[in-house]
Structure 1
Amino acid sequence: MSRYVEPSGVTGRVVIRDVTVVDPLDGRRTPGQDVVVDGGRITSVTATGGPVAEPHVVEGRGRFVVPGFMDMHMHALNTPKDVDGTYALMLANGVVGFRQMSGNKALLKSRRQGTLPQPTGSPVLKATAGDLLTPLNASTADGAVRAVREQHRDGADFVKAGMTTRVTFLAALQEANRLGIRLGGHLPADLDPREAARGGVWSIEHLGPGVTVFAAVSSKEDEVRASNATRKLPPIPRIKIPGADRLATRLIKGMVTNPATATSELEAHAYNLADGSYDQRKAEELAAVFVAHGTWQCPTLIRVHTQQFGDSPEHTQDPRRRYMAPDELRTWDKSSRKFSRLPEGTREALHDHWAAQLRMTRTFADAGVPMVAGTDACGAAGIIPGFALHDEFDHLAEAGLDPLAILRMTTTEPARFLGEEGEFGRVAAGMPADLVLLDEDPLDDHTALRKIAGVMRDGSWWTRSDLDAILARVAAHPGAH
């Protein structure tokens, strides 16, 4: 059950009648189709014929149906006992699945046992990591190897590097490759992204983060790298004690809320130096390396924007904050005040870096670097779950990506990314009945993706009025994280 989502009265055998089916794989629009769903699966997609004698018919004429959206960078299960509000906002925004970017032994055990919370309308958990690689579990190369082995044994789908060095990252990557488990996440400041790609890293999050990737496309690369000092980490205990993982989480929470609040003047100088010496030829060469080695990118532009404009009214006065839990907002507001106290030159360097991030995203897209859409929702300041994925679409469009590319990044590309190509992400017989009905054509303009007439999750249908009622209930008792 859910505090916010009422069970759907439209389930079982459902027909979305006379709708235009949009296929993200090739960009085809096929009008006049009946999409028949039963048992949580699409059973057929055929041309509309005569009257339909089915118990539930959804009128699709003049509308467009697309696969449900996937958020490939979230932390929804950081608060597994209080995930209801987050899941409700995801459903209301057409988000039907996600990749959990921070796990632990308890989360992996709960998944194995089938005891993860599943309130009504929950999205599907597509993949999860175990514990982040940090100085707590990966302060040495040997420690990083042990951490990878433990996560592989515990059933993690991938390993996420959080706070590592070149030595510990590469040791973890080599062991992950040996075991056949994927490794992705944050590149350390002292690691060349080309080396990571050639070593087989699965994904790079947040375009780095920081200046690491941008150093590689600078005409003054060595000078930028010399300025890109590894950030000092919080004093995380390096011995195993009961509750150490929870202690580490508390110690780094402030940094996770908005890492930009800890930007030093040296780091700001590195941003300015990298951005002022950007070399398009080198950017295209880097993109070619990523293409050659199948190195995925999850830019999370909404995340980097909320970080680098941490005290902007666009985020601090966002009316959608009304859906967020009060304790979450207090943490965000504390972070924004800290950001506002950064030296003016540091804040300007962070603001100016936004243009470079958009340019890099466009360069990667043009080169065919594989990319998925993600938000970093749940724990990151200014990011509203569900809504944030549409913010990400806006920023991808700002970078110059076309509507079809954006649609693919949240549908077919996640399936390819997770090694499940052909198993979800399209409107076709045999696919999961996770669908979004749109009032406007998403191939004409990406903003059509937020013009949602209804959402189907696992074969259950919620109308626009149902979704509005969900949002009203969350606003009345804010509980998203």
Structure 2
Amino acid sequence: MSRYVAPSSVHRHVLIRDVTVVDPLDGSRTAGQDVVVEGNRITTVTATGVAAGDARVVEGSRRYVVPGYMDMHMHALETPQDIDGTYALMLANGVVGFRQMSGNRALLKSRREGTLPQPTGAPALKAAPGDLLTPLNASTIEGAVQAVREQHQDGADFIKAGMTTPQTFLAALQEANRLGILLGGHLPAGLDPREAARKGVWSIEHLGPGVTVFAAASSQEADVRALNATRKLPPIPKVKIPGAERLVLKLVKGMAVNPATGTSETEAHAYEMADVSYDQEKAEELAALFVEHTTWQCPTLIRVHTQQFGDSPEHTKDPRRRYMAPEELRAWDKSAKKFSKLPDVTRNALQHHWTAQLRMTKIFADAGVPMIAGTDACGAAGIIPGFALHDEFDYLAQAGLDPLTILRMTTTEPARFLGEEGAFGRILPGLPADLVLLDRDPLENHTALRQIAGVMRDGSWWSRTDLDVVLDRVAASPGAH
């Protein structure tokens, strides 16, 4: 059950009548279609005129139906004991599935045993890792290798690299490749992203983060990389002592609110140098290499924007903050205050780097680098679960990506990314009944993706009116994280 989302009365046998079906794979629109759902699967997609029988009918005339959205970088299960508000906001915004980007043995065990919380309308957990690789479990090559082995044995879907050195990162990657488990996440300072790509890294998050990727597109690459390599790992214990895991979790959560508040002036200089020495030819060569090695990118532009503009009213005065749990807002406001005290040279470097991040995203898209949409919601300052995915769409459009590319990044590309191509992300018989009904054509303008007339999750339908009630309930008792 959910304290925000009431069970739908429109389920089991549903007919969505006379809609235009949008296929993200080929960009086609097929008007005048009836979509029939039985249980939690689409059974038929045919020309309108299907007899309703005992089906509940959703009238879709002049509307467009697309697959439900996937947020491919989230930390929703950081608070499994209080997930309800986050999941409710996801449903209200058409988000039907996500990739969890932080995990542990308890989470993996709970998933195996089927005891993860599943409030009404909950999205599908598509993938989860074990513990983040940090100095606690990966301070040495031997430790990194052992951590990968343990997570593989625990049933992790992938390994998340968080705070590593080039040496421990590459050792973990080599062991992951040997075991046949994917490794992705943050590239360490000083590592050449081309080496990571050639050696099989699965995904790069946040365009790096930092200047690691941008150094490879600089005419002064060696100098930029040398400056970036001075970035120190946070003071995380390297010895497992009683309570160390809890201490590390607390430290990581504190830093994750906005890592940019810890930017040194040396790092700021690295940003400046990378940006003024930008080399278009090198950027295109890097993009071609990522294409060659299928090195996925999850830009999370909403995340980098909230970091680099950490005290901007755009984020600190966002009216959607009314949905967030009070303790989250306190942490966000504390972080914004800390960001405001950074030296001007640091703040300017961070904010000027935004243009470079948009440019790199467009270069990757134009080259055909595989990309997915994600937000880093749940724990990151200024990021409102569910809504943040639409913010990400806005920033992707600002970078110059077209509406079809954006739609693919949240539907068909996540399926391909997870090795489940054809299993979800399209409106076809046999696929999950996870759909979003839109008032406008999403191939004309990406903003149509937020013009939601209704959402079907796992075969249950919630109308726009139902979703507005959900939002009102969350606002009345804020509980999102």
Letter in 1 for 2:141: A
* Partner residue, 1:61: 61
RMSD, aligned CA? 0.8
Residue of structure 1 equivalent to 2:236: 236
Post-superposition Cα deviations, 1:124-153, rounded to whole Å, max 9, x if no partner, equal 000001100000100000000000000000
Match for residue 205 of structure 1?
A: 205
1:98 is paired with a residue whose SS is: strand
State the Cα deviation string for residues 277-305 of structure 1 (Å, max 9, x = none): 10110000000100000000000000000
Deviation string 1:57-98 (CA, Å, 9 cap, x unpaired) is 000110000000000000000001101000000000000000
Aligned to 1:219: 219
Partner of 2:87: 87
Q: Percent identity?
A: 80
- Structure 1 residues 300-379: aligned runs within 5 Å: 300-379=300-379
Q: Distance in 1 between matches of 2:301 and 2:243?
A: 34
Q: Does 1:437 align with 2:428?
A: no
* CA displacement, residues 382-424 of structure 1 (integer Å, 9 cap, x when unaligned): 0000000000000000000000000000000000000000000
Q: What's the offset of the Cα at 1:51? A: 4.9
Contact map agreement 2:87 2:121 (CA 8 A) in 1: yes
Number of residue equivalences: 481
Contact 1:33 1:47 in 2 (8 A): yes
How far apart are 1:244 and its partner, in Å? Answer: 2.0
SS of the residue corresponding to residue 126 of structure 1 reads strand
Aligned partner of 2:5 in structure 1 is: 5
Residue-by-residue CA offset, 1:203-226 (whole Å, 9 max, x unaligned): 000000000000000011111111
Q: For 2:50 and 2:58, how far apart are their aligned partners in 1?
A: 15
String of CA shifts for 1:296-346, please: whole Å, max 9, x gaps.
Answer: 000000000000000000000000000000000000000000000000111
Question: Secondary structure at 1:364's aligned position in 2?
Answer: helix
Which string of whole-angstrom CA distances, capped at 9 and with x for unpartnered residues, describes residues 10-58 of structure 1? 0110000000000000000000000000110000000012653233000
Shift in CA distance, 51/430, structure 1 to aligned 2, threshold 3 Å:
closer
2:76, 2:132 → 1: CA distance?
15
1:284 aligns with 2:284: yes
Question: How far apart, in 2, do the equivalents of 1:20 and 1:140 lie?
Answer: 55
Cα distance in 2 between the residues matched to 1:284 and 1:344: 32
TM-score w.r.t. the length of structure 2 is 0.99
2:21 maps to which residue? 21
Following superposition of structure 1 onto structure 2, how do residues 19-168 of structure 1 map, counting pairs within 5 Å?
19-49=19-49, 51-168=51-168
- List runs of 5+ in structure 1 lacking aligned partners: none
Q: 1:296 matched to which residue of 2? A: 296
Which amino acid in structure 2 is aligned with residue 346 of structure 1? T
- State TM-score, norm by structure 1: 0.99
**Residue 475 in structure 1 maps to residue 475 in structure 2:** yes
**In structure 2, C-alpha distance between the alignment counterparts of 1:242 and 1:121, rounded to whole Å:** 38
User: Are 1:188 and 1:230, in contact at CA under 8 Å, matched by a contact in 2?
Assistant: no
Q: Distance in 2 between matches of 1:234 and 1:269?
A: 20
CA distance in 2, matches of 1:184, 1:32: 42
2-structure distance, mates of 1:50, 1:433: 18
What is aligned with 1:174? 174
Aligned 8 A contact 2:190 2:226 in 1? no
Residue 46 of structure 2 aligns with an amino acid whose one-letter code is T
In 2: Cα distance, 1:156 partner to 1:355 partner: 36
